[in-house]
Amino acid sequence: MLVLGIESSCDETGAAIVKDGRYLLSNVVASQIDIHNRYGGVVPEVASRQQLASIIPVIETALEQAECGWEDLDAIGATYGPGLAGSLLVGLTVGKTLAMAYNVPFLGVNHLEAHIYANWLRQLDDTNTQPDDDAGEFLADDPTFPLLCLVISGAHSELVLVRSHGHYELLGRTKDDAAGEAFDKVARVLGLDYPGGPSIQKAAQQAVEELQQAGKPLSLANSTYRLPRAWLRGTYDFSFSGLKTAVLHLAEGATANQRVPTTSEAKGGKKQVSKYTSMGLSAQKGGLNVPLLAASFQEAVVDVLAVKTRLAAQEYHVKQVLLAGGVAANVALRSRLERELRPLNIRLNYPAVAFCTDNAAMIASAAFFHLMHGERHGLDLDVQPGLSLPFRQKK
């Protein structure tokens, strides 16, 4: 079954053709990062206009790269939430219109669920996993249920027990900032580029390289700045706002040492700029070592995510853990979790970096598994910006 997936929930416009929910024929993403980097974050109005400009060329390119025509498609899936309303509306409207025009089934896809399904994706030319004529819900190389999934994106951080396709139980979630949001805000404080995750990862790597060159112990990369961890013991919940504030205070301290405000600034006479933006620029000039602070921050986030995930995997006796969402691209998290789980014989899976961040291949994959259950959506389906995973009661 060939599915065209369409993704437009935030600042990435994606279209992909995926066979049987797993095999990639094409995956095209138009990113707006350069535009939003100017503002230090996503500007919703700008994002939706860019979606409109990119969506048709992106879909046409996906069809071309997959060497398939409209008549080859069996269904269309598009994200309907969660995300920015204006951006979601573009992809959902285009998806429904195309499904009507070409008379194929349409399915609205939950973006968070799709992040989980990125773990089912593989290359078409992967010799061990050639498509099967009657590919169904379960194939040999698929992740095996029950499994634990850590869903960590720009707006969500959730630890989810997945008992089977579509059966989700919530074990824990963030009480305040999402992990990705913490990376983005801290990057802004430190004057690093948007999105913050990759910038902090790069700065942390730089810290390690500088220590290596100086012949100093690498452990200094994670411990030079002592940052707090919110363990919230006895729960699988997370909290990252205290950590973010601790970094902000360090940066503020550095700024205060560096510069005394003029009288008119002190009276609020100067035009207000974002606290984070102004901090970032000054923090680099202050006494802070940005790479070392980035490394310490990354370590604090990874520490909590990895330990809590390992504890939940043990309590629920799963044999497999999946990472999903943009923060799953983080190299330090992947290797730390690998180290936590290997001695317990628990397998860790994560998508290739391109399928951790927003993409349409994961949308096509999630759509396939719903279509296999005979699900369809009508053309009256509306966007749901606040959509969450469809959790069931814990057993």
**Residue 157: CB minimum distance to Zn ion, A:** 12
Per-residue three-class SS string for 138-150: CCCCCCCCCEEEE
Helix axes 290-315, 241-258, angle to 10 degrees: 170
Which strand ranges, in their side-by-side order, compose the sheet holding 147-152?
Answer: 347-349, 320-324, 147-152, 157-164, 167-173, 391-392
Residue 330 binds: one of Zn ion, ligand KG4, none (C-beta under 5 to 8 A by kind):
ligand KG4
What's the burial of 109, exposed, middle or buried (CB within 10 Å: 0-12/13-18/19+)?
A: buried
Nearest CB to ligand KG4, comparing residues 37 and 164? 37
**Residue 325: CB minimum distance to ligand KG4, A:** 4
**Residue 82: CB minimum distance to ligand KG4, A:** 8
Nearest CB to Zn ion, comparing residues 153 and 222? 153
Q: Report residue 86 as tokens.
A: 């204006």
**Residue 10: CB minimum distance to Zn ion, A:** 7
Residue 180 binds: one of Zn ion, ligand KG4, none (C-beta under 5 to 8 A by kind):
ligand KG4
How many of the chain's residues bind ligand KG4 (CB under 6 A)? 20
**Torsion sign (Cα): 161, 162, 163, 168:** positive
For the segment 97-126, give every residue that binds ligand KG4 (CB under 6 A): 115
Q: Which of 26, 110, 153, 296 binds ligand KG4 (CB under 6 A)?
A: 153
Q: Which of 48, 358, 363, 364 binds Zn ion (CB under 5 A)?
A: 358
Nearest CB to Zn ion, comparing residues 198 and 286? 198
Q: Which of 51, 153, 201, 320 binds Zn ion (CB under 5 A)?
A: 153
The Cα–Cα gap between 312 and 319 comes to: 11
Calculated CA dihedral for residues 18, 22, 27, 32, nearest 10 degrees: 120
Q: Which of 4, 159, 211, 327 binds ligand KG4 (CB under 6 A)?
A: 327
387's CB contacts (< 8 A; 6+ apart) are 80, 81, 82, 110, 111, 112
DSSP 3-state assignment of 284? helix
Which one of the spans 40-48, 214-222, 227-235, 319-327 is the region binding ligand KG4 (CB under 6 A)?
Answer: 319-327
The Cα–Cα gap between 383 and 362 comes to: 18
How many of the chain's residues bind Zn ion (CB under 5 A)? 2
For the segment 173-212, give every residue that binds ligand KG4 (CB under 6 A): 180, 183-184, 195-198, 201
**Residue 264: CB minimum distance to ligand KG4, A:** 36
Strand partners, 348: 321
Residue 32 touching Zn ion (CB under 5 A) = no
Residue 201 binds: one of ligand KG4, Zn ion, none (C-beta under 5 to 8 A by kind):
ligand KG4
Nearest CB to ligand KG4, comparing residues 177 and 340? 177
Instruction: Specify the DSSP class assigned to residue 238.
Output: B
Nearest CB to ligand KG4, comparing residues 26 and 79? 79
Q: Report residue 112 as tokens.
A: 């968070």
Query: Smallest Cα–Cα separation from 35: which of 54, 58, 16, 57?
Result: 54
* In the complex, residue closest to ligand KG4 by CB: 197
Query: Smallest Cα–Cα separation from 19: which of 109, 131, 99, 107?
Result: 131
Interface with ligand KG4 (CB under 6 A): 10, 115, 153-155, 180, 183-184, 195-198, 201, 325-327, 329-330, 357-358
Interface with Zn ion (CB under 5 A): 153, 358
